[in-house]
Amino acid sequence: MRTSRHSMSTFGATLAAVLLIAGAARAGDRRVPFPMHHGIDDVGPFVRIVRPPKGTGPQIPVFQGMSYYPGWYTGEDLHKLGYDFVRVPVNPAVFLENSPQVRAQLLDQIDAAIHDYVAAGLRVVFDLHFWTTGDKTWTNQEITEDPSSSAFAQYRSLVQEVTGRLVRFPLGTVALEPLNEPIRANCQNWPSEQRTLLADIRAKAPDLPVVITGCQGELNQLVALTPDDIDMNDPNLIYTFHFYLPFVFTNQGGYKTFLQVDDLPYPASLGNMSETLAKTNANIDAAGLSPADALLNRRESTKYITQYYQQGTDRNFIEQQIGMVAAWADSNHITHSRLLMGEFAALNGRKTDTPGYRASRLRWDNDTQSVADGFQIGSAYWYLPYPKGPIFR
């Protein structure tokens, strides 16, 4: 994003105010105020990548960048819409594949975007976020597979470099999320890897707000963390989880064995289980799947659709789930202002819409946002639309 003279003057005022807050934080208990209420995930410019056409030279990636998103939302746009923070996913594969010189140039691009958001009065979560691409040179799985590997060592160096960048911003304006949804076949090793990354960050930035997560970013993995897994006495940790439950509803029509799920409403009381199963099975029959895939889809769809209706999925279900995070925080003396629902959305997996389908997603989005608000948990909606238009929620 280009920084206008107006935004730079606004940034100066914001900088002065934040420095006062930061000074007070340092003089006291080291706790850096980093309040988050309503935010949004800025998905696109720095998580999606571009590679040169094959046969034209090395397939080294760069970010799509702002030039791919003409008319993209400015910080002022988001502030006027009522957001107070932005989570900015940044694909670490781009840095890991490029030379140090190019890496510095790419980081400059992100610095400029952060400056613009901060100038508009927004806080920023810098989220290192692997994004699925056709090229598997660097993946989430590869860097977390073995904490003694060269891949993890290189990733640690990247996190340290990013930390060195973020400490240049006024304290309390930017937080670092070292890894989005860490993937492991076995989640038992993630806490030790996360402790290592946090120690690297703290060596350079003792007070930088850092976003901590459970394996795969899941709610049940976050509440499984104990003081043995992470130093909960660190006053500048933010604890995050992602919320897409029930998955069969939020990902119907767009995820693996839920591709053929159809006509599942929210809340469940608005639908009919027999009708939903019939529509879904008809979709499976018409999809041209192999007998094995058809059997798997039918079995999994039936299982989760039945569960969805039998538990009477509604706002109470959402409250029970998110309430688990609130209770875990209370038991560990963590204030709810340090909890973050970093992603939530009922996704339009079908890429088509009907009034009923859209209304159900809207009800789920609004209930989830409202429940998080009730627990005083910050939340970030997944994600900004493009072409630029009304934000779904």
Measured distance CA(379)–CA(70) in Å, rounded: 27
Q: List pLDDT tens digits, range 73-127.
A: 999 999 999 999 999 999 999 999 999 999 999 999 999 999 999 999 999 999 9
pLDDT at 135: 64
Residue 153 has pLDDT above 80, yes or no: yes
β-bridge mates for residue 38, sequence order? 379
- Which whole number is the average pLDDT over 42-56? 88
**CATH fourth-level superfamily of 5-246+314-381:** Glycosidases (3.20.20.80)
Any idea which residue has 């993890």 for tokens?
Answer: 152
Q: What is the pLDDT of residues 351-385, one digit of tens each?
A: 778 889 999 999 999 999 999 999 999 999 999 98
Q: State the pLDDT confidence band at 250, using cuts at 50, 70 and 90.
A: very high
Residue 71 has pLDDT above 50, yes or no: yes
Lowest mean pLDDT across 14-23, 177-186, 219-228: 14-23
- Quick one: pLDDT at residue 5? 37
In the predicted model, what is the mean pLDDT of residues 187-204? Answer: 95
Tens-place pLDDT, residues 128-139: 999 976 566 789
**What's the confidence (pLDDT) of residue 318?**
98
Give me the mean pLDDT over the 260-264 stretch.
91
Q: Torsion-angle region of residue 281: left (phi > 0), alpha (psi -120 to 50) or beta?
A: alpha
125 phi and psi, to 5 degrees?
-105, 110
Sequence ranges of the chain with CATH classification 3.20.20.80: 5-246+314-381
> Minimal CA–CA distance to 364: which of 342, 352, 346?
346
Q: What is the pTM of this model?
A: 0.91
